[in-house]
A and B are shown apart, each in its own frame.
Chain A
Amino acid sequence: MDAIVVKNLTKIFVTKERRGFLKKSVKKRIVAVDHISFNVRRGEVFGLLGPNGAGKTTTIKMLSTLLIPDEGDAWVNGYHVVREANKVRESIGVSLYSDRGFYWKLTGRENLRYFAYLQHIFPRDAEKRINYLLKLIGLEKDADKLVEEYSTGMKSKLNFVRALLNDPPILFLDEPTIGLDPNSSRKVREVILELSREGKTIFLTTHNMEEADFLCDRIAIINRGKIIAIGSPGELKNMVERKGIIEIEAYNITKEIVEKMRNNDIIGHVSYNINDSISLKGKIRIGLNGNMSEYLPEILKILVNSGLKIVYFKPVEPSLEDVFITLTGKGFYEEEKSNK
């Protein structure tokens, strides 16, 4: 039996759009999750990858019983998420927010104790489990500080520990490394892999493609509420035609430059992500319509005349970003911007 079974799961939200002082607000239906179906095998790390606003958190919330679906069914650990919600809750651990969801005037340990008791873990077992988990994540020294004194990274770790309190067979992690510094992110990833080795099923959402590639046995790519591809990272990358892909780091990346590149016959697709809005520094990914060696002189000419200040450029292997572009025609981060 699979750990998670999802059939035609759908969630529609009704929002009100305000338009000025006197005009009546307009109700709008948003299909956050649109008839998605998939299975998660026992013991696998399954990633739901998608840009912000794609429906990842809504999916986790439906599977963890926080939201009632409008259509479809889902079973977690064999229990139906609506009809057997309490059984589902006993089987899962959920980490929803990176740094929210704590009582600031309680210490980290007191917060964990509170949530452990709500999970029906009796005091002696709770203390043992809390001490073990704090040590595992490297938070034991700060456990007796008030949460209001915690940094964002410490709160994220505490949040992660809370999800593990009841030693659940299935873990739901919503963006587990968001807001963490590189060291803490690495620590959390190590723990996820360790838990996976112990046989736990891990369902994680992320919009970090490298993370999904590194952690997940299988990935479902979700966009605008629909699952557009599902498979192992290797299977997904095989969906991309083996043509030349170039990654460029440059300054002065503008929409106009990117559009100009797109209009070129030898270029199949271009995606970009700007990291610094002042210097317009970022990365561009160009998918060629042929092999690298075939188009190298022409691509060099395009780059020299583009107006970009190039730091480096290099040929790269297809990534999940290229899979996303192949499937949607848009770059991952561009899709995030349009969702916003």
Chain B
Amino acid sequence: MRRKSQINKSLLVIKAVYVKEMKIWLRYPSWIFTFIALPYMISGLFYGVGYSIAGPSATKNFASNTGIDDPFLYYLLGSLVFMMTTLICEDIGSSIRMEQMRGTFELHYLSPSNKALIWSSYILPHGTISLLTMFISALPPLIYRFGFQSIISLIIGLLILFIGIIPIFGIGLIMAALTVKYKEPWAVINVVRTIITVCSGFYYPLTILPYWLQLVSQFVPTSHITMLLREVLLANRRLIFSDYRFTLLLFLSLIYFVLGYGFFVRWERNARRSGELSKY
């Protein structure tokens, strides 16, 4: 009975965070167009740059370097993962900072709810937004290229993305703690985003990187998400779950989440001592 009541309380907290975040998102509607259109704009830009450098043989060269003959879809999927990573990382970092500036951050610590649960619950609304954007954005060109069977591939892709959200959220929590400590969100966000972007192969195969950087990229979860998505959606591989990258992604999800959460909790404890919870 006691456990049931505890579960109900936890579900209530998850619902509170989910409804609040989704309402706030939907009351700033312009982002919907941006998030759906931006991957196309970025992909078009890269496509144009590639063609202007390599000329008519651009597509052929691209296929021989990457093993994939459709550069536009290649860039589009890379852009989608890039967008999702940016969205979640920046949003966790900047939204916790925003909570602090608004004065709502500190108020969470007046409630008896588990703070771990409150901040972890942000995964769900952020995940919903990312997956929904991804689905709407990627579906039309995939159907155009591979037909309706690509819907199954897309669902597998979304599952990979959902798992991928967990380590990104962990990174987001580290960024959030650093952001609220140093009060300069963009300094933190830009450094982390650059490292992730270079090591993830959003727009190029990782094999073009120096060997040491390829090794580093093995520890960057987004590199595995990008590769797995391309395998599923562009190379039409369904048995992706036996891939070593999938196992590695699960492992990194756990590591980054625990690391991010541990870092945040440590900061929280210090903040309650130093009075930083309310400083802005």
Contacts and interface: CB of A to CB of B under 8 A. Distances in A.
Interface stretch (A2-10, A44-52, A89-97): A89-97
Contacts of A101: 102-104, 106-107
Given A13-B275, A66-B277, A105 B28 contact: yes
A264 interface: no
Contacts of A65: 109-110
Contacts of B15: 117
Nearest to B26: A105
B103 A13 contact: no
B20 A106 contact: yes
B272 A67 contact: yes
Interface residues of B, number: 30
A89 B110 contact: yes
B237 interface: no
B250 interface: no
A118 interface: yes
Nearest to A82: B272
B9 A66 contact: no
B103 A115 contact: no
A120 B109 CA distance: 14
A70 B20 CA distance: 35
A68 B112 CA distance: 16
B106 A96 contact: yes
A69 to B, nearest CB: 9
B118 interface: yes
Contact of A96 (B8, B9, B107): B107
A177 to B, nearest CB: 18
Interface residues of A, number: 36
Contacts of A70: 273
Contact of B23 (A86, A110, A115, A119): A110
Nearest to A57: B278
A119 B103 contact: no
Interface string B8-42: 11001101100110011001100000000000000
Interface string A29-63: 00000000000000000000000000000100100
Contacts of B28: 105
Contacts of B273: 67-68, 70
B145 interface: no
Contact of A115 (B19, B107, B272, B274): B107
B12 A117 contact: yes
Nearest to A70: B273
Contacts of B272: 66-68
B24 A106 contact: yes
B102 A114 contact: no
A175 to B, nearest CB: 14
Interface string A75-113: 000000000001001101010110011111110001001
A64 interface: yes
B95 to A, nearest CB: 11
B108 interface: yes
Contacts of B274: 13-14
A38 B273 CA distance: 22
B98 to A, nearest CB: 10
A66 B111 contact: no
A92 B103 CA distance: 19
Given A14-B274, A67-B272, A118-B111, A102 B102 contact: yes
Most A Cβ at <10 Å: residue of B13, B20, B108, B113: B20
A110 B20 contact: yes
Interface of A: 11, 13-14, 58, 61, 64-68, 70, 86, 89-90, 92, 94, 96-97, 100-106, 110, 113-115, 117-120, 122-123, 146
Given A66-B109, A89-B110, 4 more contacts: A61-B278, A70-B273, A103-B104, A106-B23
21 contacts: A14-B274, A65-B109, A66-B277, A89-B112, A96-B107, A100-B102, A100-B103, A101-B103, A103-B104, A106-B23, A106-B24, A110-B23, A114-B19, A117-B12, A117-B13, A118-B13, A118-B16, A118-B108, A119-B112, A120-B9, A120-B113
Closest 10 CB pairs of A and B: A100-B103, A117-B16, A101-B103, A118-B111, A89-B112, A105-B27, A120-B9, A86-B112, A68-B273, A90-B112
